[in-house]
Structure 1
Amino acid sequence: MFNEQSFNELFGSFLFHSMIIKMASLQIVLRLLLIAVLLQIGTASLYDGIEELDNEVILSASLQAKKLVDAAYKRTRDILKERLKTGNVRPHEVMAYFKQPVAISRTHVRSADYMQTTLQLLAEKMQGIYRRPFNISDILTENQLDTIYKVSGCAVLHLPKTCSNSRYRTFTGECNNRRFPNFGVSNRPYLRLLRSQYEDGISVPRGWTENKRINGFILPLARAVSNEIIRFPESQQTLDKQRSLMFMQWGQWIDHDFDLAPETPARSTFLKGIDCDVSCAKEEPCFPLRIPPNDPRIRNRSDCIPLFRSSPACVKNSPIREQMNVLTSYVDASQVYGSTDKIASDLRNNGNQLGLMAVNNRFTDNGLAYLPFASSKEDFCELTNKTSGLPCFFAGDSRVSEQPGLTAFHTIFVREHNRIVTVLRRLNPSWSGEILFQEARKIIGAITQKINYKDWAPLLLGSTTSRVLPRYRAYNDSVNPGASNVFSLVFRMGHTMIQPFIYRLVEGYKTSRQLPPVPLHLTFFNTWRVVREGGVDPILRGLMANQAKLNRQNQILVDELREHLFELFKRLGLDLGALNMQRGREHGLPGYNDWRGFCGLSRPTNVKELALVLSNKELAQKLIAQYGTPANIDIWTGAVAEPLVSNGRVGQLLACLIGDQFRRSRDGDRFYYERPTEFTAAQRNAIEQVTMSRIICDNSRITEVPRNVFFANSFPRDFVSCNNIPAFDLSPWKKRKSGAGMVLKSKVIPWKKSIEPYCKRLCYLVR
């Protein structure tokens, strides 16, 4: 054993020899001493961070990581091809399908996987030396972390961009903020409002290590919490007497404008090549949900509900795992136009120069356009009805075909773009196709913002609106609009409003034997149900004339989502509630109490205090029986369990976190529609008059709509003719010279700074 006496003897010996050989450098002496000490201690001791890893070891690990990741990607792709060929597809593969990164996002994900796997390999190499716990950050210097960042390819992807003068947004969100060009940009890490909480402080999710105590208690299995807290008989569901299914559907629509955390494409472990479908192993990138005793559906406890970790993000000079958002964080209609240049280009009608979006060239919806079909070779939509042979639709967000209501929204907004382009071309014949496209895109973005902030958010936030989302004042370039990691999880509160059926109604808002209500799990990726069964009009009528499910503390999530998610694709239906909890842990999100503290709310410490917060003693007791302490309650579970605020559909904590995101995405957006430089007063007034009702009237064959589609409306009492819904007046855009009159090769010519002070009110300048 190495003790103090042996250390003194060794040190004296080194001093003696140093004097004999006349070493001039004390640094050399200390270095020799360190080597001798390490040799004396042996390889089982804890590394103290003084001696760096050799750079050759780091480069070798980086090369090995690339080989492992590439092999896992290929192995997964080959397996998926074979399963698609045989039709033997599993539910979690379908869920992963619409979370797959595409275009440049896939390159970002691959580089991040290279970086994360390199860190894992280095940690494993050092485990043979250290027996006590350590973090990889204790070993690597900042320069070495930077080396890994560069070798993985992350650095090249995040090179600074030169911002040009343009009155239009970039598709990636870059340069929206001229001072901080990366604010709100796609393919960047989520924003952290609180520090991450991982088991190892770096990347291991809480709940990963069996029987490990957190705040003095073992975290319950996510599926067990779902069974005890989330589950209820669907026959007892309460409908919302004041909100329609359209209200629920807008929530999903706007969520798909904000964020998407892609899963890594690999379905087998990087280091050991384990197939997670077979083993239920907890090995990176697999974090499956174990089955609790006496589960009401899954009897085989050795089975599991698969979950794959969200892709890591490239982060410079830090080994702490962050997740990637492949969308822009602005309300900019990116789900219509895409969040990368490549997707945006592919979505346009490139066969002419008229500024139009591409539409389907095989089918029409009673003469109106459908979305174009995707060209992916791996397509799950074809499996839902092999006789139809219809692939998934193609849109700015990959989740477009997830369910018919979402598809209907995508469809009418693309139609609205093309309708606006047609009107603008008539008003301004001299405008180029590029200007027509960009002006229509700018208008669609503004309409989306108006509906979200003025018509929808107050109905969600209720009495808290003025506090958590005060009225717009001005653009602030110090505000970071980036989507927060916690928002990406808690905005899934919309799951609690989903009914177990998709309703289709024919003219006169009548039911039909040909279009009966369909259980939700039978509609996922059913392109054919849209094209072959009446188009989008019956779906839109069903959304307008039916009520949303009301989230109650004893009726949180319907079993269509909790037991049958993607069950259509054989094997084991997924549990969306349990997946939400597991995802929060996987993302390193702190627990319920920490977020209550962040929002300035009380932090309950026992059953009594929790019962006061929830206004529900029985629910508080159930939660404590599961978690042991309020501090461990998963953020999604705690947030959706709170009582609803007055006139709203969320609790106090959700109102705070959602309001925070909405405010930052608005106030930090240089192109927000209420900013005086973006539109003329007449144009802003025209945008303010647009409603979702009008968009439906202009882009479908529906002739009767409610004045406010988000309310629970009864036909015919609450419906009016489309003639009574104010039309969208585009005349204020006629002969607009500030943007279109200064165009050369589809780019806006910047004004000279010398004349800038004189045209603040006349010119639309980008500053």
Structure 2
Amino acid sequence: GSLMVSQAAEIPPYSVVHNSFRHNPTWGAANTALVRWLPAQYEDGEKQPKGWNHGRLHNGFTLPLVEAVSKKIMKSSFKRKENLYSQLMIEWGQFIDHDITFTPQSTRDATDIGVDCLDTCQNIHPCFPIQVNYESAKGCMPFFRSSPACIDNLHLANNFPLQRQQINTITSFIDASVVYGHTLELQSLIRNYTSPTGRLAINKIFKDGEGRPYLPSVEASPSACFQNPRAPQEDPRVECFAAGDSRVNEGLSLIALHTLWLREHNRLAGALKVLNSHWSKETVYQETRKIIGALHQIITMRDYIPKIIGQESFDRYIGPYMGYDPTVNPSASNVFATAAFRFGHATISTVVRRFNESFQTHEQFTHLRLHHTFFSPWRIVKEGGIEPVLRGLMGTAATSVSTDKLIAEEMTEKLVVLNIQWKLDLAALNLQRGRDHALAGFNDWREFCGLKRLKIKEDFQDVVKDKIIVNKILKMYKNPDNIDVWLGGLVEDHLKDSRNGPLFSCLIAKQMKSIRDGDRFWWEAQGTFTKHQISELSKSSLSRIICDNSKVTEIPLDAFKYGKYPNGFLPCNHIPNINLEAWREKKKTG
């Protein structure tokens, strides 16, 4: 069995454990199976992915190759901008996804069968290569199946015990595990235990121009991260950064957000220690962590989710908070992690913009093609810190998805993964991942959400206005029931004021509601914070956090809303602030 890290390992000393938690200690815990809202549809009923057996018929037809779907339907070279939201909103989606789910892949070689997944084009567990119909190139792209969860914890998590299930290695709760890690071991790597004020560790070599800290480096050096090709030999290497989540170095925007939260933790810890000089460093650390976790929940549920599913879906599926419900399982679902929350992959911008103080193209640091920013922490350290990137995110309108332009070419042709030498295709990977997990098809999920199954072309035209795309999909899949859920969810026309169609809006909403209602430590749950603290916390915003921890001095009230500078930008002293007095504790005399 896998190591069970229950949420208990995460619980700060001040918490009270209710009975319900003892009944379901694995709910939402790290290293447990992703839950299934619908049973898996493996080809052998147990573990073979969809498309494993060549020639196997599904509803009378073979499934189209994911690579062909990517090339014919997904690929786009130009993405429209919309002017409602900023690119920062897109990046928050990736950041918060990393707080909720992480599905590990099987290790590289199938040693028991003596095959390396990088060299085979055959389906042999754990290799499930993506077949490519190129005449010239290699016949496949490598693909590693997600690791299976151990059988012995399955009965706890799922109603479908004999099927292969996949793991979520991190806690499903929005608990800032992305900042603090999801194990005690990881936490100890990123804490500064010598600090009397309960701080997180910072980079020992580099800091920004104002003396603000960067994330610490990973322990092993030299690390795999790319280096500045033009750096003089004697320059110290900029190693990969370490954070609560190992994916921090994937892109500059992620690094910038991780850096903000590191600084915010240390800023709050210092202020709380001043207010409560009698607090031990452990108390300071835990109380700060508790506030940071609450801020992640507030920014996500109040400022982010309504924009991506639309207020109407929010009211319909999520509704007002009614308190902790011990019968709700907060665990991440397989369809959310593998399909619905990957809607964001279609909104990745192919260019990373970097702006100066007046939100114009930076004189020194030009815009970068996305593939030049993967695993390149040196660009933050050597190219002006996090500010040019943050301003670029706030000052650029979010890319929008149009059905005929789903995935940027930069992601289908040039995706870089460390230690794998060829360029991967994100769209094909996502489709293959859905099949690896044997997710039910698009129509089954529509039915699950109370939406109508789409049987004939006319049904499709009700939900996908673009006739050409409907024809392409029906031509490739032959039977509507075979459509991969990720593709189907992406092509639906968006709901009003939403970034998603009806299916993904429903699935994301259901997941968020269960994460909120099933969390005993939700920031508004009774006993988590005092009434005074709750009213202070609700004044907070991502804008305020950027103001407090960077050189940015002007910002929109809601950093996710797009305005062309200077329209809608306010000086930082106009952005509301938390008054930490609510955390002052009288020293007990006794």
Distance 2:6 2:247 in 1: 29
Which residue pairs with 2:508 in the alignment? 658
Q: Give the aligned length.
A: 576
1:167 aligns with 2:14: yes
1:428 aligns with 2:271: no
1:289 aligns with 2:125: no
> Secondary structure at 2:110's aligned position in 1?
coil
Distance 2:67 2:41 in 1: 21
Distance 1:271 1:581, change over 3 A: same
Distance apart, 1:309 and its partner CA: 0.7
> Secondary structure at 1:242's aligned position in 2?
strand
Which residue pairs with 1:120 in the alignment? none
Distance 1:469 1:456 in 2: 14
> Secondary structure at 1:277's aligned position in 2?
coil
1:399 aligns with 2:399: no
Contact kept? 2:6, 2:30, Cα under 8 Å:
no
Distance apart, 1:175 and its partner CA: 9.3
Read off the aligned partner of 2:203 and give its amino acid letter: N
Distance 1:365 1:161, change over 3 A: closer
The structure with the largest helix share of the pair is: 1
Read off the aligned partner of 1:634 and give its amino acid letter: D
> Secondary structure at 1:218's aligned position in 2?
coil
Distance 1:160 1:679 in 2: 19
Q: Which has the higher contact order (CA 8 A, sep 6+)?
A: 2
1:261 aligns with 2:103: yes
Read off the aligned partner of 2:570 and give its amino acid letter: V
1:417 aligns with 2:265: yes
Which residue pairs with 1:640 in the alignment? 490
Distance 1:575 1:562 in 2: 4
Distance 2:76 2:252 in 1: 25
Distance 1:605 1:251 in 2: 32
Instruction: Please point out which of 51, 65, 71 is paired with 1:227.
Output: 71
> Secondary structure at 2:389's aligned position in 1?
helix
CA displacement 1:148-195 (0-9 Å, x = unmatched) = xxxxx54x758997999943499xxx9992331111000111011000
Distance 1:169 1:527 in 2: 40
* Equivalent residues in 2 for 1:200-599, closer than 5 Å: 200-234=44-78, 237-265=79-107, 267-292=108-133, 299-300=135-136, 302-316=138-152, 318-366=161-209, 367-376=211-220, 379-382=223-226, 385=229, 387=231, 389-462=237-310, 463-489=312-338, 490-566=340-416, 571-599=421-449
Distance 1:359 1:379 in 2: 17
Which residue pairs with 2:576 in the alignment? 726
Distance apart, 1:504 and its partner CA: 1.1
CA displacement 1:308-358 (0-9 Å, x = unmatched) = 011111122744211110110101111000111111122110123321011
Contact kept? 2:5, 2:31, Cα under 8 Å:
no
Which residue pairs with 1:668 in the alignment? 518
Read off the aligned partner of 1:315 and give its amino acid letter: I
1:627 aligns with 2:473: no
Distance 1:157 1:328, change over 3 A: closer
Distance 1:700 1:288, change over 3 A: same
Deviates more, 1:301-310 or 1:443-452: 301-310
> Secondary structure at 2:326's aligned position in 1?
coil
CA displacement 1:508-538 (0-9 Å, x = unmatched) = 2221342111000110000111111111011
- TM-score, normalized by length of structure 2? 0.93
Larger Rg belongs to: 1
> Secondary structure at 2:29's aligned position in 1?
coil
Distance 1:269 1:423, change over 3 A: same
Distance 1:504 1:664, change over 3 A: same
Distance 1:243 1:159, change over 3 A: closer
- TM-score, normalized by length of structure 1? 0.72
Distance 2:113 2:65 in 1: 25
Distance apart, 1:384 and its partner CA: 6.7
> Which structure 2 segments of 5+ residues have no match?
156-160
Distance 1:742 1:349 in 2: 30
Distance 2:221 2:482 in 1: 43
Distance 1:274 1:660, change over 3 A: same
Read off the aligned partner of 1:614 and give its amino acid letter: V
Deviates more, 1:611-620 or 1:446-455: 611-620
Distance 1:229 1:654, change over 3 A: same
Contact kept? 1:270, 1:284, Cα under 8 Å:
no
> Secondary structure at 1:390's aligned position in 2?
coil
Distance apart, 1:207 and its partner CA: 0.3
Distance apart, 1:570 and its partner CA: 8.1
Read off the aligned partner of 2:414 and give its amino acid letter: H
Distance apart, 1:681 and its partner CA: 1.3
Distance apart, 1:620 and its partner CA: 1.6
Contact kept? 1:595, 1:653, Cα under 8 Å:
yes
What is the alpha-carbon root mean square deviation over aligned residues? 2.4
Distance 1:384 1:288 in 2: 33
Distance 1:733 1:200 in 2: 57
Contact kept? 1:610, 1:630, Cα under 8 Å:
no
Contact kept? 1:415, 1:699, Cα under 8 Å:
yes
Distance 1:551 1:436 in 2: 44
> Which structure 1 segments of 5+ residues have no match?
1-152, 293-297, 744-767
Which residue pairs with 1:135 in the alignment? none
Distance apart, 1:571 and its partner CA: 4.9
Which residue pairs with 1:181 in the alignment? 25
Distance 1:160 1:522, change over 3 A: closer
> Secondary structure at 1:509's aligned position in 2?
coil
Distance 1:593 1:158 in 2: 36
Contact kept? 2:41, 2:439, Cα under 8 Å:
yes
Contact kept? 2:275, 2:581, Cα under 8 Å:
yes
Contact kept? 1:348, 1:357, Cα under 8 Å:
yes
Read off the aligned partner of 2:237 and give its amino acid letter: G
Which residue pairs with 2:542 in the alignment? 692
Percent identity between the two aligned chains: 39
Distance apart, 1:382 and its partner CA: 4.1
CA displacement 1:105-129 (0-9 Å, x = unmatched) = xxxxxxxxxxxxxxxxxxxxxxxxx
Distance apart, 1:559 and its partner CA: 0.5
CA displacement 1:597-629 (0-9 Å, x = unmatched) = 110100111222222232333222111111111
Contact kept? 1:481, 1:665, Cα under 8 Å:
yes
Distance 1:479 1:396 in 2: 26
CA displacement 1:577-598 (0-9 Å, x = unmatched) = 1110000000111110110011
